[in-house]
Amino acid sequence: MASKKSLTIGILTGGGDVPGLNPCIKAVVDRSIEEGISVIGIRRGWAGLLEFNPDDSDSRKKNLLDLDKGIVRTIDRSGGTYLHTSRTNPGRVKTANVPEFLSDQAKEGELHDFTGHVLGNLERLGIDVLIPIGGDDTLSYGERLHEEGFPVVAIPKTMDNDVHGTDYCIGFSTAVTRSVNFIHSLRTSTGSHERIAVIELFGRYCGETSLIAAYLSSVDRAIISEVPFDPEKLAKLLMDDKQANPSNYAMLTISEGARMVSGEIIQYGEEDAYGHRKLGGIGMQTGEVLKKLTGQNIVFQQLSYLMRSGAPDSLDLMVAVNYANMAIDLVMRKVSGRMVSLTQGIYTDVPMSTITAGQKRVDVRELYDVERYRPKVRHVMGKPMFLY
């Protein structure tokens, strides 16, 4: 790494936006400036480094932004990401997405690896350390750069809270808070019409948002990504719930990545750069099946982007700022190849290889009743704050 006076870091946000990204960016910039470190913001995640053409004078303005305290002064007051985001993976670029100025470097095949170009741009820009803020997809490419020998310090964010190696990711608390609030709001319409409500929440492989939101809002049943469900059994349980409710209604949360025992995960659209297709629709399908099985009218609500919109709550603010300061601490100590994390309520850091070393999922045996389709939280002594 360069000396303290000439040190330059690059920062980017990738994948889905979540509340807390802007406070994290601001905290990185504020602390860096105080330490005499320059900061270059990279626009649209990894796309900014892929699409930056050093021979085009307009390319820098489009893909990069020099950050200082004045620029980031107020960005922490809102959600989303000031640097914008994308699901670009420079190691797996589809032919249709190859920048025109790189077309002569594209090799035969459907996917192209432009990691060499990215590393060259980092060198040309004088970036000494890279701080990507993202989920397991975004950070997996950060790990790739680390393996190539470039210094990387990672910050985990995802509303699903499913990055392996940390108990907490920026965005999760706000997503759960939003979900609980919307669930309680939906009780008025569901109860007024004496219906069954099916509320679909984000959660591709990990059902923690459905589980925790249901647990905190006392929803009758919760379907999670990890456990395929029997719609006939679910219908009977919900009818029992409805009849036992003095207001004659019942409510269900369901992860977008859930599936019926005889069905498949509902996916649509083309694969993104990380091999994922969009999810969504299992809630509507489940509602239609429940209507046929029970004869009851259904309220279906897909919370979707409402879970990740708006300003962060206090916990996400706290973690975002602390993660930012931890990342700069590592930079100052000339330590890289690490991801900042929370483990058992303690701030720490772990090797970036941890990100791809496993999959973070709901502990079904400890936290979920597979027969009754609901959270099963009895003994929390010794567990992390969010039960992971």
Instruction: Please list the residues that pair with 250 across neighbouring strands.
Output: 196
Instruction: Specify the residue for token string 């300061």.
Output: 325
Helix (H, G, I), strand (E, B) or coil at 227: coil
Is 66 noted as a catalytic residue in this protein?
Answer: no
Q: Helices 136-147 and 115-124 sit at what angle, rounded to 10 degrees?
A: 70
Closest CA to 235 of 160, 286, 163, 300: 286
- Which of the residues 76, 128, 160, 167 is marked catalytic? 160
Between the alpha carbon of residue 365 and those of residues 163, 206, 222, 369, the distances in Å are 20, 14, 15, 8
Instruction: Please list the residues that pair with 374 across neighbouring strands.
Output: 369
Helix (H, G, I), strand (E, B) or coil at 112: strand
One-letter amino acid of 310: G
Joined together, the tokens standing for residue 210 give 């459905």
Q: Helices 314-332 and 21-34 sit at what angle, rounded to 10 degrees?
A: 40
Joined together, the tokens standing for residue 240 give 């029992």
Helix (H, G, I), strand (E, B) or coil at 114: coil
- Show Cβ contacts of residue 107 under 8 Å, excluding neighbours closer than 6 positions: none
For the annotated catalytic residues, the residue numbers are 160
